[in-house]
Amino acid sequence: MTAARAPLSVAGAMDRAVALAANGPAYGPNPRVGCVLLDSAGAVLGEGWHRGAGTAHAEVAAIADARTRGADVRGGTAVVTLEPCAHTGRTGPCVDALTEAGIAAVTYAVADPGDSSSGGAAVLATRGIPAMLTAHAGASALTHRWLTAMRRGRPYVIAKWAATLDGRMAAADGTSVWITGPEARDHAHGIRAEVDAIAVGTGTVLVDDPRLSARPGGEDGPHQPLRVVIGHRDTSGRRVWRDSHAVSVPSHDPRDVLAALWEREVRSLVVEGGPTVLSAFLREGLVDEVHAYIAPVLLGAGPSVVDDLGIGTMADALRGQHVNLQPLGADTLIVAHLSRGI
């Protein structure tokens, strides 16, 4: 069995590492990471990616892949999307694995912002293994939500709603099924399948009795987000409590909610509540990303998407950045990062 594949430049290997990283789960406490091991001629010796919390990190997976191929990685270069970790968590430090394998150099695309996991490059340097940071847009995009969460010490928050052209979340009689069409609803379920948790207020639970499950394609997906109910009212007996994968946070302060979820290792959260819950997160500047599904529908009356945000002048308006529009059947999804959330 040959140990080498077609030669790659370091830049080409990083492109490959990013593609490998995308195989990992978008949800969970750990980021998606990919690694490619090269010999001095640029031949690929091994490659791997992180498959989720508790599994081998990308560097360890790549070393194991090389061994399976009969390749000797001593003197090779590890090209990895994230700075190798320097701490023991569910698995051992990647810096130790790389050192013990005889890797001679490391190139990484994103610095690890974790309080305990960062510093791997410095540790490698003390062992005579140079570790070079080389930025890569793909690697940054792939880890954006996780990086933001780690830097802020709270979950990355996506505020999601479906609304009419005139900004209504429901009709005057309270009905909201369905504002958007099947394509938009299926897309929203796909987003649920990529996050750690989904939150609504007690009012939404009492009025709509939602399942809060991820059902892309109409079927329950293999990953289900933690169901979070915000507020003090009793919601017992509702579908959200059908099993133990749900939690109540008896508070109206979004910071309490995020702190409680952070302790549970939630790194990404979709807030799907009504105007009260959405407005609370927006007022506190705790929304990082907005997903607004807009239907070509007019109601003229009914609850608006958000309540008073305390904004009195256009100069203080929350303005979306890095905006993307995606047609979904007759509807349009607007994705935007908020200026306070970047």
47 annotated active-site: no
Between 327 and 4, the more confident residue is 327
State whether 43 and 179 are in the same domain: no
Average pLDDT of every residue of the chain:
92
Measure the CA–CA gap between 198 and 90, rounded to whole angstroms.
25
Residue 183 lies in a domain: yes
Q: Which of 73-87, 110-124, 203-217 has the lowest mean pLDDT?
A: 110-124
State whether 128 and 196 are in the same domain: no
- Give 2's pLDDT tier (boundaries 50, 70, 90): very low
> Does position 150 have pLDDT exceeding 80, yes or no?
yes
DSSP state of 165: T
The domain boundary, picked from 115, 145, 175, lies at 145
Say how many C-beta atoms besides its own lie within 10 A of residue 4's C-beta: 14
User: What share of residues in the chain are helix, strand, coil (percent, to 5)?
Assistant: 30, 25, 50
The tally of domains found in the chain comes to 2
pLDDT for position 3:
45
| Average pLDDT value for residue range 40-59 | 93
Task: Assign residue 265 the CATH number of its domain.
Answer: 3.40.430.10
Residue 119 lies in a domain: yes
List 38's β-bridge partners, or say none.
44, 77
> Does position 88 have pLDDT exceeding 80, yes or no?
no
State whether 163 and 195 are in the same domain: yes
- Give 1's pLDDT tier (boundaries 50, 70, 90): very low
State whether 106 and 172 are in the same domain: no
> Does position 341 have pLDDT exceeding 50, yes or no?
no
pLDDT digit string, tens, across residues 95-137: 999 999 999 999 999 998 876 666 899 999 999 999 999 999 9
Residue with tokens 């061994």: 67
Q: Are 28 and 150 in contact (CB under 8 A)?
A: no
State whether 135 and 160 are in the same domain: no
Look up the domain containing 217 and give its range. Answer: 154-341
Residue 98 lies in a domain: yes
pLDDT for position 269:
98
Return all residues near 175 (Cβ < 8 A) that are at least 6 apart.
none
Residue 308 lies in a domain: yes
Cα 126 to the center of its chain, rounded Å: 33
Q: Are 146 and 259 in contact (CB under 8 A)?
A: no
State whether 269 and 171 are in the same domain: yes
Q: Are 230 and 257 in contact (CB under 8 A)?
A: yes
Measure the CA–CA gap between 220 and 70, rounded to whole angstroms.
41
- Give 334's pLDDT tier (boundaries 50, 70, 90): very high
pLDDT for position 115:
66
Q: Are 223 and 214 in contact (CB under 8 A)?
A: yes
State whether 176 and 120 are in the same domain: no
- Give 7's pLDDT tier (boundaries 50, 70, 90): confident
State whether 112 and 162 are in the same domain: no
pLDDT for position 279:
95
The fraction of the chain above a pLDDT of 70, given in percent, is 96
- In the structure encoding, which two tokens stand for residue 323, read together? 């905006």
| Average pLDDT value for residue range 274-286 | 94
Three-state SS at 71: coil
CA angle 312, 318, 320 (to 5 degrees): 155
Task: Assign residue 55 the CATH number of its domain.
Answer: 3.40.140.10
The domain boundary, picked from 145, 166, 183, lies at 145
The fraction of the chain above a pLDDT of 90, given in percent, is 80
- In the structure encoding, which two tokens stand for residue 111, read together? 């610095």
List 60's β-bridge partners, or say none.
none
Catalytic residue among 59, 83, 272, 289: 59
| Average pLDDT value for residue range 253-259 | 97
State whether 285 and 203 are in the same domain: yes
Say how many C-beta atoms besides its own lie within 10 A of residue 89's C-beta: 15
Residue 116 lies in a domain: yes
> Does position 304 have pLDDT exceeding 50, yes or no?
yes
Whether residue 146 is preceded by a cis peptide bond, meaning omega within 30 degrees of 0, is no
pLDDT digit string, tens, across residues 167-207: 999 888 887 888 999 999 999 999 999 999 999 999 999 98
pLDDT for position 54:
86
> Does position 4 have pLDDT exceeding 60, yes or no?
no
Residue 317 lies in a domain: yes
Residue 5 lies in a domain: no
Measure the CA–CA gap between 170 and 324, rounded to whole angstroms.
25
Q: How many residues does the chain have?
A: 342
Question: Where does residue 14 fall: left (phi above 0), alpha (psi -120 to 50 degrees), or beta otherwise?
Answer: alpha
The domain boundary, picked from 145, 172, 198, lies at 145
State whether 73 and 139 are in the same domain: yes
Residue 37: closest CA among 14, 70, 68: 14
Return all residues near 57 (Cβ < 8 A) that are at least 6 apart.
33, 50, 84, 85, 91, 94, 97
State whether 132 and 169 are in the same domain: no
Residue 2 lies in a domain: no
State whether 232 and 337 are in the same domain: yes
> Does position 340 have pLDDT exceeding 70, yes or no?
no
pLDDT for position 91:
74
